[in-house]
Structure 1
Amino acid sequence: MNPLLEAEQAVLGAVLLDPDQLRQLGWLTPEHFHRPVHQALFAAMRKLHADGHPASTAEDSVPLSWVTDTVAEAGQHVRGLTASHAHTLISACPRPGHAPVYGRMVLEGAIHRSVTAHAIRLHQDARADALQGEVEGALRGADVLRDVLIDLARRWGAEPRPVAPGVPPAPGPVTSRPSWARRVPGEERILLGVLAERPRSMDEVVGWLRPDDFADLAHGQLYRCLVALHHRGEPIDRITLLWEAQRRGLLADGTLSSDQLAAVCGDVGPGSAEWLGEQVMRSSVTRTAATSARAIRTLAENEALAPGQLINHALHALDPLDEVRTRWQTANGRPAPTPPAPSPNEPPPAQVHAARARSTPRALSPPVPRPGSAPSPAAVRPPSRGRS
C-alpha cells in the first residue's frame, strides 16, 4: 500500500467519523489530494460543514446523513462513488484525533507533486524559448515556480530562504546535446573571432558576459583568456592568446589546441560583438533555466526530503538563473531589480564590491621610471598579474 494513499484515506475517514476535525484542517484544500475521488469527497465535506450541516453541531453521535450527504455531494463531480467507498475510508482511519497529522502527510505529498509539476513546466518553457530564440517564457516560468515555492513554504509553516543541499542532487542521465542547442557554438566561435581580431570590441561585452555563459567549455576558457588580457591591458592577437592559454594549462590538459585557436582567430567576419554576445547570453539564460529545472525536479522526486528542505533547496537552485537574468537585463539596457537587504550571515556590501571589482576593467597608469635607470620589463606591466 502506498503510504500517501493511506494518509489520504485516513484523513477522509477521520472527518467522516468526526466532522469537527475540519476546524483543525483549514490549511488543507481539496487540490492537495492526489486522487480525484478524494478531492471531491474533501470538497464535499468542506461545503456541507460550511453550510451548517447538522453533523457539524452534533454533540453526541454523528448522524448517518453526514456520510450519505457527503457521498451524494461528491458524486455530482465524480462517477462511481458509493457509500461502500465511504465506509472503506472510515475503516482505514486508526485514530480520528490524528487527522491533523494525516493532513500534513497529504500536504507533504502535494508539495512534492506541485514542485515536480512546475519544474517540468519550467524545463518545457526553457526548451520552447531556446527553439524560438526567446527568454521571456523561461523567466516567467521561473517567477511562477518561485511564487509557488514561497506559497508552499507559508502553508507548510517554514521560512522560504535559499539553502544549499548538503549533498548536491544526483545528475540526470547523460544525453546528447539537444538539436535546439547545436547552433550555439557556431555563434560563440564567431564572437571569439571578432573579439580576437578587434580587441576594442571587448568593451561592448566584458561588463555582462561571463565564461560560464558559453555552451562550449573550450569557448568559455578562451573567452576567459581574452578577458584576462583585456583587464591587464595587454595586446590581444593570436600569439598572445595562445600564450595565455598555455599559461593557464589549457593546452596541456587538452581543453584547447593551437589548431582550434587558430581556427577561431581565422573565423572573423562582419558582425557586432554586442549582438553576438546577446545571442550567447540568450542561450545562457535558457540553458541555465533548464539546468535549474532539472535540479529542482530531482530534488522533488526525492521522497525522503522534508518539505521545508525541498522548498529551500529548490529556491537555492534558482539562484544561478537570477544571476544570469540580472546580466541579461544589463545587456539589454533594462534596469536590474533592487537587490534584497543582506542577511546577517552574508558578507558586508563593501566586501562583495571588492570581490566583484576584480572583474571590472582597470585603467592603466603610466609607469614611473626610477631616476637614472631605464625601466625594466616588469615596470611597464600593469601592477596586477591576477587572472580573471
Structure 2
Amino acid sequence: MSRAPERDEDDLDAIAPPQPVFHVEQALLGALLLDPHRLGDVTGIAADSFSTAAHAALYGAISTLPPPDPAEHAKNTTWLDHVLATASEQARGLTASYVHTLIQVCPWPRHAPAYARMVEAEHARRRLQTAAEHLLQTIHDVSLPHPVQTVLAEADALGAVVDDIASRFPPRAGALPRTALPPPPVPPDRSEAVEEEQLLLATATAHPADIDSVRWLLPDDLTVPLHAGLWQCLTALARRREAVDPVTVLWEAQQRGLLDDGSAPRDVIRMLAEPAGSLDYWGERALQRSLMATADQAGRRIEAYAGDPANTPFQLVVGARRSLADIAAIRTRWQHATGPVPTRRPRHAPPTRAGPPTTTAAAVAPTTRAARATR
C-alpha cells in the first residue's frame, strides 16, 4: 500500500476518545475494510453518524467507492489505497498504519450489522443532545423579536428528532431513564416578575368579572408562592360568586393558611389595592414567563438524559416525550390566551305565556387581544 508522508502516524491513536463508541466504530470500519461486501448488511447510518472526522471520512469513502472484486481484494491493497486516498481529502491525519489498525482490531467482520446498530444508537443520543442544547440557547437569547414562537419552533424541532429516533428503535417495556437530573439553575432577577404579578392580582381584585376571561392562567404560572395562593383565592371567590375586594381576598388567604409564612396583612391589602392596566395583559405576561421556564426545565432534563451514555435510545425517547408533554400542555394554554376570541352567539330569552318573547342584546367580544396592554 502506498503511504503518504505524515507528521506523526500515532496522532490518531493519541487523541482517540475513550468512549466505547470509538472502539465500536473502529470494529465496524475494520469489518468493512476487510470485507467490503458487508456494506450491504449495514443500515441506518451515514458518514455523519460517526463521532470523529477521520471515521466519518473513512466510512464516506467506503460507501461511495465501488467495491473491489473479492478475489483481487484478498491479493492486494489496491482498494484500500483508494479508500485511504479518498478519505484523506476530508481528514488529512489518516495514515496507512491506522487503516491496518482498524482491520486488526475488528473481532468478527460478520458482526458488522451489530456494530452499525451501536453506532446508530450513539448518534441518536448525540442528535438529541444537540437539539436540546439548541432549545436552551434559544430560550436564553434575549435578542429574539418573537421569543415564544421561536422557542416553540425549537421544541417542535426537538420533537421531530425524538420521533425519528423512536421510528428507528422499537419500544421496550420498562425503559425509563434513570439519570439523576441536574440541580435547578440559579434563578434570575425576579423583580420584574414580582411587580407584574402584583399588578395582576390587584387588577383581578378590582375587576373580578374579568377573571373568567383568563381561565388559562394557573397558580403554578406565578413565580412567588404567596402570589400563587392569592390567585387561587381570587379564582375561588369569583367561582363562588362572592364579594371580591382586598379585604375578602385577605380573609380567604387566612382561611387557606397563606399568611403563615409571615406575610403582613397590611402589606397584602396594600398590594391588592393598586390595580393598573388590563388583566388579560398581565396574565399573558405571567403565562409567557411560565412557558419559557417550562421549556427551560424540559430542555435541561432532555439534555441530562442525552448526556448519559447509559440510556438506551428508547429510554431517551420515553424521557424526552414526557418532558415535551409539559411544553405541549402550556402551549395549548398559550394558544387559548393569545388566539382570537370567538364571538359569542346572542342568547335569546325564552318566550313567556304572558306576552311576546324578549331578547337580550348580543354580547360583542373583541376578535383579537392585541390591544390588551394599552387598556
In 2, Cα distance between equivalents of 1:146 and 1:304: 21
Aligned pairs for 1:334-373 within 5 A: none
> What is the match of residue 313 of structure 2?
307
Conserved in 2, the CA contact under 8 Å of 1:158 and 1:308?
yes
1:12 aligns with 2:12: no
- Say whether residues 1:54 and 2:64 are aligned partners: no
Residue 165 of structure 1 deviates from its aligned partner by 4.1
Q: Deviations over 1:309-334 (max 9, x none)?
A: 11121011111110111111111125
**Contact 2:247 / 2:269 at 8 angstroms: preserved in 1?**
no
Partner of 2:224: 216
Residue equivalent to 2:240: 232
Larger radius of gyration: 2
What is the match of residue 258 of structure 1? 265
With over 3 angstroms needed to count, the CA separation of the structure-2 counterparts of 1:256 and 1:123, relative to structure 1, is farther
2:207 to 177, 198, 204: 198
Alpha-carbon shift at residue 128 of structure 1 (Å): 1.8
Q: Is the 8 A contact 1:129 1:286 kept in 2?
A: no
Give the counterpart of 2:46 among 29, 42, 45. Answer: 29
Matched, 1:104 2:112: no
Partner of 1:114: 127
TM-score normalized with structure 2 length: 0.80
Give the letter aligned to residue 188 of structure 2: P
Q: What TM-score results when the alignment is normalised by the length of structure 1? A: 0.77
Corresponding residue of 2:275? 268
Cα 1:24–1:263, aligned 2, differ >3 Å: closer, same or farther? farther
Counterpart of 1:178 in structure 2 is 188
1:365 corresponds to which residue? none
What is the rounded CA distance, in whole Å, between the counterparts of 1:22 and 1:158 in structure 2?
26
Structure-2 separation of matches of 1:290 and 1:188: 20
Q: Is the 8 A contact 1:129 1:138 kept in 2?
A: no
With over 3 angstroms needed to count, the CA separation of the structure-2 counterparts of 1:316 and 1:59, relative to structure 1, is farther
Shift of 1:303: 1.8
CA shift in 2, pair 1:60/1:67, >3 Å: closer
Distance (whole Å) between structure 2 residues aligned to residue 153 and residue 175 of structure 1: 30
Residue of structure 2 equivalent to 1:317: 323
Amino acid at match of 1:246: Q
Alpha-carbon contact 2:177-2:318 (below 8 Å) kept:
no
Deviations 1:179-206 (A, max 9, x none): 5x65222211111110012211212212
Please tell me whether the aligned partners of residues 112 and 307 of structure 1 are also in contact (alpha carbons under 8 angstroms). yes
Task: Flag the 1:59–1:226 CA change in 2: closer, same or farther, 3 A.
Answer: farther
Contact 1:71 1:83 in 2 (8 A): yes
* Inter-partner Cα distance in structure 1 for 2:61 and 2:339: 53
The one-letter amino acid paired with 1:112 is: R
The aligned counterpart of 1:375 is: none
User: Shift in Å at residue 89 of structure 1?
Assistant: 1.1
Distance, in Å, in 1 between the alignment partners of 2:143 and 2:88 is: 45
1:359 aligned residue: none
Unaligned runs of 5+ residues in structure 1 are 336-388
Aligned partners of 2:213, 2:284: CA distance in 1, in Å? 10
Q: How much has 1:261 moved relative to structure 2?
A: 2.0
- In 2, Cα distance between equivalents of 1:296 and 1:314: 5
The aligned residue for residue 251 of structure 2 is 243
Equivalent pair of 2:222/2:228 in contact (CA under 8 Å):
yes
Distance 2:54 2:155 in 1: 31
Structure 1 counterpart of 2:156, one-letter code: D
For 1:326, give the aligned amino acid. T
Secondary structure of residue in 1 paired with 2:140:
helix
Shift in alpha-carbon separation, 1:149–1:175, aligned structure 2, 3 A? closer
Give how far 1:29 is off.
1.2
Aligned-residue offset at 1:143 = 0.3
Secondary structure (helix, strand or coil) at the match of 2:259 reads: coil
- Distance in 1 (CA, whole Å) between partners of 2:230 and 2:301 is 28
Contact 1:299–1:310, Cα closer than 8 Å, also in 2: yes
Equivalent pair of 1:129/1:136 in contact (CA under 8 Å): no
- The offset of 1:172, in angstroms, is 2.1
Q: How large is the RMSD of aligned CA atoms in angstroms?
A: 2.5
Secondary structure at the aligned position of 1:61 is classed as: helix
The answer (yes or no) to whether the contact 1:13–1:92 under 8 Å persists in 2 is yes
Which residue does 2:19 correspond to in 1?
Answer: 2
